[in-house]
Amino acid sequence: MNPAKKTVEWKNSSGQPVTAGGFTLTPQSQALVVRAPFLGWVWNRPVAVLVEGEGVSQRIPVVDVTRIVQLCLIALSAACWIAFFLFQQRRRTVAPRK
């Protein structure tokens, strides 16, 4: 492996342009690349679509619904874990009734 390569890198890239109906559509994405000596990890996400045609260029952002759902599930599971932990702590501190 080339030691000059970065360990963590945030990259923006464009995909292959597609022409349809007089317009050229180019997908754009971001990638988080993590490299280690024996492994690597890449996380890609869509960012936008660049629409060019009729002398006009427009960038249309893409809403990544999957990422939003994943973040909500992570937050929900963290909240459940914290609530369970606090419930267990409270249960241990309260003296049992006889």
**pTM, rounded to two decimals:** 0.63
Q: How confident is the model at residue 67 (pLDDT cuts 50, 70, 90)?
A: confident
DSSP output for 14-71: E---EEETTEEEEEEEEEEEEE-SS-EEEEEEEEEEEEEETTEEEEEE---HHHHHHH
pLDDT at residue 72, rounded to an integer: 97
Q: How confident is the model at residue 4 (pLDDT cuts 50, 70, 90)?
A: low
Average pLDDT over residues 51-67: 92
Residue 50 CB: number of other CB atoms within 10 A?
Answer: 17
